[in-house]
Amino acid sequence: MPEVKLFAGTNTKKLADSIAGNYGQELGAMTLSKFSDGEMSPSFDESVRGCHVFLIQSTNPNADNLLELCLMIDAAKRASAYKVCAVVPYYGYARQDRKDRPRVSIAAKLIANMIMSAGADRIMTCDLHAGQIQGFFDIPLDHLNGSAIFVPYLKSLDLGDNLIFASPDVGGVSRARAYAKHFEVDMVVCDKHRKRANEVASMQVIGEVEGKDVVLVDDLVDTAGTMCKAAEILLDKGANSVRAIATHGVLSGKAYENIENSKLSELVITDTIPIKKESSKIKVMTVAELFAKAIHAVTGNDSISALFV
């Protein structure tokens, strides 16, 4: 079996260190040099010849994180690595997965092309904004699911018959329905209309939530405007409490302020993206063990089905 080596990109070092610890080895040594104008030059400080190399880096903006990952992949291939797997806990630009208006880029496909062109043999990620993005890749893709993290936590809350799941928009219905089906409870939909990105113009609830403890389900939370608006409307409709779960805590703009001032009981996210500051309403759970188990399965040619709830 080829030797397995794990390396971390600049943006994901803390999570990568936890993944390596759960996998049972230390991260490999590498250096990221920069020219005075910011041009990056990553290099491996140890041999990767004939090794199965896993490069861990989320590609959330800024674009440096994506370019650094591509340069790492290229460096590993040119150093004669046996296989190179891009481990991308958060796949950035995934919201641009189609032409929803004239003359725009399908950025999610462009990013897939860049990663493949750099030389990746495999990609491993978690909770893509749209599952169809898997089809943008012509290499194997392991699509892990945050439900493996959130389901045990929700069970520990013991909400009983009052539990109900909600999707903050029509696009997330299948995600919320999967949770509702697992817990054998109902779900509702918050139908929103936007005037522009990150700004909700109007929202209405489809379904009954009176007397229920609502769990909003989404793949990511950015400015948290939608989540906070949904929580307010659900409580106005008679819900006992509203909490939210979202795999990727992008948390940009006034997100922290919005969450602190919202009627959400809590927001539960994972560490696919490092948080910028602490918040009394934000709980962070780790995906390190999930990714470590997936890497074990890939290197051992085992199925990853057991990792799904």
In 3D, which of 88, 110, 106 has the Cα closest to residue 97? 106
What number of residues does the chain have?
Answer: 309
**Cis amide bond preceding 62, omega within 30:** yes
The dihedrals phi and psi of 286, each to the nearest 5 degrees, come to -95, 145
Candidate list 83, 192, 229, 293, residue with the active-site label: 192
Pairing type for strands 83-88 and 52-56 reads: parallel
Judge contact between 41 and 32, C-beta under 8 A: yes
Q: Has 237 been annotated as catalytic? A: no
Q: Write the DSSP string, the chain.
A: -PPEEEEE-GGGHHHHHHHHHHHTSPPPPEEEEE-TT--EEEEESS--TT-EEEEE---PSSTHHHHHHHHHHHHHHHTT-SEEEEEESS-TTTT--S-SSTT---HHHHHHHHHHHHT-SEEEEE--SSGGGGGG-SS-EEEE-THHHHHHHHHHH--GGGEEEEESSGGGHHHHHHHHHHHT--EEEEEEEEEETTEEEEEEEES--TT-EEEEEEEEESS-HHHHHHHHHHHHTT-SEEEEEEEEE---TTHHHHHHTSS-S-EEEEBTS--SS--TTEEEE--HHHHHHHHHHHHTT---GGG--
User: Known catalytic residues?
Assistant: 192
